Structures are given as C-alpha cells and as structure tokens.
Amino acid sequence: MRKINPHDFHVATRSTSRDINRRIALNLIREHQPISRADLARQMRVTRSIISVLVGELIAEGLICEGATGEAARGRKPTFLHLMTRGKLCVALDVRLSRTFMLLSDFSGHQLALEEFSTIADSSALVKDLAHRIRRMLESHSATARCEGIGVSVPGMVDHRTGHILNAPTLGWKQVDLGSALSEATGFPVHIENAAKACVLAQTWLSGGRASTANSFVHVSVSDGVGVGIVFNGELVRGHDNTAGEFGHVPLNLEGPKCMCGARGCWEAYVSNIATLSRYFGRDLSKVPPKPFVEANGHSFTVDDLVARARSGDGKAMSAVNTTAKYLGLGLATVINALNPDCVFIGGEITTAWDLIESIVRSSLAERTLTESASRTPIHIAAAVERPRLRGAAALVAAPTFAAPRVA
C-alpha cells in the first residue's frame, strides 16, 4: 500500500477522473493502434459516448488523429485512431567516454536520422559542438515537423529536475550544468538522465515487449561504466539524491582494482568494457581518464573485437570474456537479492557474447543468490542494435505525454 505524503500531494478535482481516463485512452491507442472507437470502448469497458468525448479531446489537443476507414458487416464503418507522432520530433543524445550518438526521432521512437562522433572531453566545448550538430540535423526535417525537446543520456549521477550532472566518473565531470547550457545554446528544452535510468525508460515506453507488462524490473547497462536502472511498481526509482541504482560502485572486493570513481573493488572495475579490455591487454585500470585501446597497427580495439577473437579460438580473449562473465553474475546476485525484480535486462557490448557466457553468468549468480527462485530470475538481453540509451533519451521528451497523472 502507498502512503499519502502530507507534504507533497495533488488534490483530486472534478476533472481528475476525466484526466486519468483520457491518459488511459491515449496509452491504449499507443499500444493497439490502429484501433477503432468501438474497440477502445471495449478495452476500457465504458460506453461509446464516453469514448467519443475522450477521443474528441485528444484530437483537439493534437495527440491523436483519425486514419483509414475499416470494413464492417453492418452499420457505420469504423474509423481507426492513431497517435499523432510525425509532426513532433525529439533529439536524443547518448554521451559516452569516447563516442557520442545523436538520434532524431518522432514521438513513436521512429528513427529519422542518426550520427556518431567523438566525444569532446571539455563540457563547454561539447555543448557548442552539440548545438551545431543539432541545428544541422533539424534543418532537413523542421519544415514538416516541430522539435519538442532534447533528451540526453549520460553515464553518471544526474539531477533530472535541474539538468545538473552531479558526478560522471567516466567523463571526469562533477557539478556540470549541461542542461541549462545546452538549452541556451539550442533554444529547446533539455531533459538529462542517467544512462541506466534512460534504458529502463526505453524498455517501459518504447519496447512494447516484456518490460511494458513487468511491474518491477532492472536494466543493467555495461559499457565504459556500469549502471543499473530500476523500475519498482511501475515507476522509475531515482532516490532522494538521484543516486538510486549505483550498484556499479558496490564493492565486490575492498582490495580489488581501482575504479574510476576513486574507490577499489567496485563491480564496475571488474565488468565494464574498460575493465574487460584492460584484463586482455594487461593494463592498469587506475589511470583516469583511460587511454583508448589501440593495437600495434594503430587500429582501435573494442569489446566487439575481443568477442570476435574469443569466437575464433583466442584463449586469452576467451579468458578475459569468461572472467567478466563470472563477475557479472556475482554482481547480478547483489542486485537480485536487494531488489527481487520480476526480470533483468542486460545491455552493452559484452552481450554479443551471451551464447558463450550465459552458463558462467548463471552459475556465478546461483552461487550468491539467497533462494533457488531468485537464481532463476529471467534475464533478457537488450540488443545493442536497439540502442536503449538513445531510445531512452528520446523517451525523456515523449514519455511525459503518456505518464499517469499523479494524485495524492
């Protein structure tokens, strides 16, 4: 049961029930489009007259539109309803240590343009570069649609209300006001979120799959760092100071390798891309910021390259991947013991080796989970091609339109 907070609440008004029903109708249209008014009435278990009022209001607000006419055995032919998405655009940014990805999409998450470029370490210079790239990307689409905002995913702790990046160890940023700076440079509202939290938003709002029906789940993002996004009772968990989900900095061994956060033995220091590649190359992880992994021929070397070598029979590569798998399972046990989610999603480059490492992850997980049932927690892979960080950044702009009204 949920306690009413006497210091932070919204009082129900005469329009509250209609607001809630309108938001329910909007989400059902989003999930089942194209859908007729009659089918929508059956889904909501209300009369056609109520649906007519709700649909009329949603059309007037520009949130939905009428589409094609269907066939009917008798009576009037139904007119199908759709979300109004193509007239509204959002720019999504996924800022990482070495690379930044930029996506232009409509409100349904449909990709219109995609760019990838090197991340500029200095935040002020990065803002100028991003503003230039955003303007250029929008020029080819702004004639037919309007940009509603910019969503940014970053690997660090973020105050999403202010857009301040509190601490992003992999980027070397502390107390960086990226939100205001980027908004001023572009003229658009900017929404910033931790990368792992952005991933659970993508799963919740844009996947239409398992996560859309799960009540509580986590998304473990394994990249240059490690982050965990948490959905509990259908709501993203941020915590009092926006640090909820920082399992990547829970220590597995207090005497372990130094993490980029400055502490020793963090889960991240064992399973991040940087940790995995450092293990393969025999490099000291404590150097911050880490240098790119480059082979003798001058070509950059990534986890994807490492997995390819493991598949080709390179024993050293297989050992590095398997060790990461072992520690991934041990850390997952901590997450599952603490949160007991319905399921776990794992995203990141290491998942391209899932067929090679799943048994090791499961074995390590079973060693540390407290019940047999917990050890069997479903684990789903969020494929890299789905770009959950970018899609989550897009959801930062689009999802508030569909979120449930808050009452009490």
Residues 6+ apart with CB under 8 A from 298: none
What does the pLDDT read at residue 291? 63
What does the pLDDT read at residue 377? 96
Task: Please tell us whether the domain made up of 16-83 is placed in CATH 3.20.20.140.
Answer: no
pLDDT in tens, 357-403: 999 999 999 999 999 999 999 999 987 777 888 988 998 888 777 77
Confidence band for 165, pLDDT divided at 50, 70 and 90: very high
How far is residue 46 from each of residues 7, 19, 31, 66, measured CA to CA in Å? 35, 15, 18, 20
Q: From 408, 357, 348, select the one nearest 381 (Cα to Cα).
A: 348
Per-residue pLDDT, averaged over 106-115, amounts to 84
**pLDDT for 228 beyond 90:** yes
- Mean pLDDT lowest among 63-67, 162-166, 224-228, 306-310: 63-67
Confidence band for 208, pLDDT divided at 50, 70 and 90: low
Model pTM greater than 0.85?
no
Confidence band for 22, pLDDT divided at 50, 70 and 90: confident
**pLDDT for 317 beyond 90:** yes
Confidence band for 141, pLDDT divided at 50, 70 and 90: confident
- Mean pLDDT lowest among 86-90, 152-156, 172-176, 356-360: 86-90
At residue 242, the 3 state secondary structure works out as coil
Q: To the nearest whole number, what is the mean pLDDT of the chain?
A: 86
What does the pLDDT read at residue 145? 74
**pLDDT for 27 beyond 90:** no
**pLDDT for 192 beyond 90:** yes
Share of the chain above pLDDT 70, in %: 90
Share of the chain above pLDDT 90, in %: 47
What does the pLDDT read at residue 120? 92
* CA 81 to chain CA mean position, Å: 28
CA distance 288 to 116: 24
All structural domains of the chain with their residue ranges: 16-83, 89-195+392-401, 202-389
**Fold equal for 89-195+392-401 and 202-389:** yes
Per-residue pLDDT, averaged over 238-251, amounts to 89
CA distance 327 to 269: 10
Confidence band for 185, pLDDT divided at 50, 70 and 90: very high
What does the pLDDT read at residue 308? 96
| Strand positions, DSSP E, 64-145 | 64-69, 79-83, 88-95, 99-106, 111-118
CA distance 120 to 127: 9
Per-residue pLDDT, averaged over 93-105, amounts to 92
Q: Note the CATH number of domain 89-195+392-401.
A: 3.30.420.40
**pLDDT for 21 beyond 60:** yes
Amino acid at 120: I
pLDDT in tens, 268-299: 999 999 999 999 988 876 565 556 677 666 67
Q: Note the CATH number of domain 202-389.
A: 3.30.420.40
CA torsion angle 188 242 158 218 (round to 10): -90
Report which of residues 333 and 67 the model is more confident about: 333
Both tokens of 96, joined, read 């990482």
Any idea what DSSP says for residue 257? P
What does the pLDDT read at residue 73? 55
